[in-house]
Amino acid sequence: MSFTSRLRVILRSKSDRALTRLEDPREALDDSYEQQLKMLQQVRHGLAEVATAKKRIELLGQEMGGRYRRLADQAQEAVNQGRDDLARTALERRSLLEGQVAGIREQYLALVQQQSQLQENERRLTERIAVFRTEKETMKATYAASQARVKANEGTAGLGSEITDAGAGLDRARDRVAQMRARAAATDELLSSGALHDVTAAPDSDLERQLSAGATKADVDRQLQAMKDVRTGDGGRGTGSGSDTRAGTDARGGSGSWLSIGEGPTAL
């Protein structure tokens, strides 16, 4: 992979992470919290450095204070011994040391002020971070609860991707079933009309089906003509003969009269 390709991959991953953080506020809250912790760490590091410098000057001042007292004692001892020259040298060195102590005293007081200010800043920042952390966790919990509620509501209303896919599959299944039913009905009609040939049927079964239909029609016509002839032969004698015929039929057959259906002449 070339350098340009690697750079493109890195930039794309960073942009994806940035977009993810923008989409999820919890990521932004955690990032802000981490930045504040880094600021607090920097303040504490600076406070430690100032305290260290102040302590170093304090130790130097204590050392110079001890020397200042020794020079005073040496000057007094030289006077006692009548060595004014030595006393003068000690006093000159003591006077020079006073100037040096005055210089480091100003630095020490400045560091004391800086340390006090940094301590106050550290205290305020610590309190602010603690408050922010509480608010952050509360907001994250609220967001998580709202997100779970949205998912639950979407699932109940069928707005989720899984429910939507299931609904689409059900619609496709319904369409498929309706299409298959329509196709079955159409093929039945085509088979009945003879437009399609049943490959599983016996040879010449279509002729037999048509002949059977013709025979049934002829039988119906004969029965209709017989009914008309009987009506004409009765000559308006009423319904008594018909009633006797039906009664006789019932008497002959009784409850098993249905067994004779289709075995002989049709009983009218």
Q: What is the pLDDT of residues 158-182, one digit of tens each?
A: 555 555 666 666 777 778 778 878 8
CB atoms within 10 A of CB 21: 15
pLDDT at 48: 92
pLDDT at 162: 58
Q: What is the pLDDT of residues 104-134, one digit of tens each?
A: 899 999 999 999 999 999 999 999 999 989 9
pLDDT at 241: 46
pLDDT at 120: 92
Type of residue found at 238: G
- Predicted confidence (pLDDT) at residue 261 exceeds the cutoff of 90: no
DSSP state of 265: S
* Count of helix runs (H) and strand runs (E) in the chain: 6, 0
- When mean pLDDT is compared over 15-29, 64-78, 207-221, 223-237, the highest value belongs to 64-78
**Token code pair at residue 109:** 């007081």
pLDDT at 189: 72
Greater confidence, 254 or 134? 134
pLDDT at 262: 56
pLDDT at 45: 92
pLDDT at 216: 76
| Angle of CA points 135, 140, 145, to nearest 5° | 125
Type of residue found at 237: R
Q: What is the mean pLDDT of residues 72-84?
A: 90
Type of residue found at 28: A
pTM: predicted TM-score of the whole model, two decimal places: 0.46
CB atoms within 10 A of CB 76: 13
Percent of the chain at pLDDT > 90 equals 21
Q: Measured between alpha carbons, how far is 32 from 132 in angstroms, rounded to an integer? A: 9
- Predicted confidence (pLDDT) at residue 52 exceeds the cutoff of 90: yes
CA separation, residue 250 to residues 82, 242, 244, 256 (Å): 173, 12, 10, 9
Q: What is the mean pLDDT of residues 24-35?
A: 86
Q: What is the pLDDT of residues 132-141, one digit of tens each?
A: 899 888 888 8
Q: What is the mean pLDDT of residues 143-160?
A: 72
- Are 68 and 101 in contact by the 8 Å Cβ rule? The answer is yes
Q: Measured between alpha carbons, how far is 46 from 118 in angstroms, rounded to an integer? A: 8
Q: What is the mean pLDDT of the chain?
A: 76
DSSP state of 255: G
**Token code pair at residue 69:** 């007292």
Q: Which of 37, 235, 250 is nearest to 126 (CA)?
A: 37
Greater confidence, 108 or 220? 108
pLDDT band at 24 (very low <50, low <70, confident <90, very high): confident
CA separation, residue 111 to residues 48, 61, 114, 124, 151 (Å): 11, 14, 5, 20, 58
pLDDT band at 41 (very low <50, low <70, confident <90, very high): very high
Q: Measured between alpha carbons, how far is 98 from 75 in angstroms, rounded to an integer? A: 15
pLDDT at 247: 45
